[in-house]
Amino acid sequence: MPGRPGPGPAASRSPSDPTSENPTSENAISENAISENAISENAISENAISENAISENAISENAISENPTSENPTPRTRSPGTRPPKRVLMPSYSFLLNGKPVTVEAPSDMPLLWVLRDLLNVTGPKYGCGVGVCRACTSHLDGEEIQPCVVRVADCADRQVTTIEGLADGDRLHPVQQAWLDCDVAQCGFCQPGQIMAAVALLKKTSHPTDADIDGIENVCRCGTYSRIREAIKKAAAQG
């Protein structure tokens, strides 16, 4: 596909392993000590407590609830005394997010998508598959297109992450966003942040993309806005 990155390893993996929603965890470098034993502050203080404790393998009417056995006592307060013995600190990662430095504490194999959405409340990148095939989360890492659902946070350390939120210059839209408005591309809108980020990445590589170049965009739009996406990319290219 000229001028386009092919489907990444995640895209080729998913058909053979369609059940995985956490593809990065499969390939994650083993950091068991960190990811399995680290307990975040929130987890300790906000553990749900339910009364209907049940025996190990049976499911009773209601909640499975906290483990009734004391093999793994569940800490319920922040008191250091109740923490599991093997607790170690969560690693922290710093990167530039839409031009601003951020630091997050997260397991190394946590996909950037969930770091953005669940830890940093940056919700422009959307979850659509978790395996890098729908590309609704498409964003940029050092200016290159990525699918944050299959990129580990550890791989973003000290780099520049740009999401749809970082594309406009204040109130002035990026030319591709403006072309999207001019062509009224969006329908439900859910895939469009990813579509726009993919288009921006394409135009960076190929200032005047051919139809074949545009055909190389893998992002799914279930509403079927493809014709307007094509028109908007050409419009942005013509103005570019």
**Region 129-158 residues binding other proteins, contact defined as CB under 8 A:** 129-131, 133-134, 136
Q: Which residue has the tokens 């194999």?
A: 109
- The residue among 129, 93, 91 whose CA lies nearest residue 113 is 129
From candidates 31, 39, 83, 175, binder to other proteins by CB under 8 A: 39
Per-residue HEC secondary structure of 27-58 comes to: HCCCCHHHHHHCCCHHHHHCCCCCCCCCCCCC
- The residue among 165, 160, 129, 159 whose CA lies nearest residue 147 is 129
Token couple for 128: 């659509």
Chain Cα centroid distance, residue 2? 26
CA–CA separation, 166 and 151 (whole Å): 19
If the CB atoms of residues 196 and 201 are measured against other proteins, the closer one turns out to be 196
Q: Is 102 in the site for other proteins (CB under 8 A)?
A: no
Q: Is 107 in the site for other proteins (CB under 8 A)?
A: yes
Give, as ranges, the residues between 50 and 79 that touch other proteins (CB under 8 A): 50, 56-59, 62-67, 69, 71-72, 74
Q: Is 43 in the site for other proteins (CB under 8 A)?
A: yes
From candidates 93, 145, 225, 235, binder to other proteins by CB under 8 A: 225
Q: Which residue has the tokens 């190389």?
A: 216
Give, as ranges, the residues between 180 and 219 that touch other proteins (CB under 8 A): 180-182, 184-193, 196, 211, 214-219
Burial zone of 181 (CB within 10 Å; 0-12 exposed, 13-18 middle, 19+ buried) = exposed
From candidates 8, 83, 123, 159, binder to other proteins by CB under 8 A: 123
Q: Is 82 in the site for other proteins (CB under 8 A)?
A: no
The residue range among 14-22, 140-148, 154-162 that interacts with other proteins, by the rule CB under 8 A, is 14-22
The residue range among 140-148, 154-162, 223-231 that interacts with other proteins, by the rule CB under 8 A, is 223-231
Q: Is 161 in the site for other proteins (CB under 8 A)?
A: no
If the CB atoms of residues 136 and 161 are measured against other proteins, the closer one turns out to be 136
If the CB atoms of residues 96 and 223 are measured against other proteins, the closer one turns out to be 223
Per-residue HEC secondary structure of 117-138 comes to: HHHCCCCCCCCCCCCCCCCCCC
Token couple for 216: 């190389």
From candidates 3, 5, 22, 83, binder to other proteins by CB under 8 A: 22
CB of 133 to other proteins, least distance (A): 4
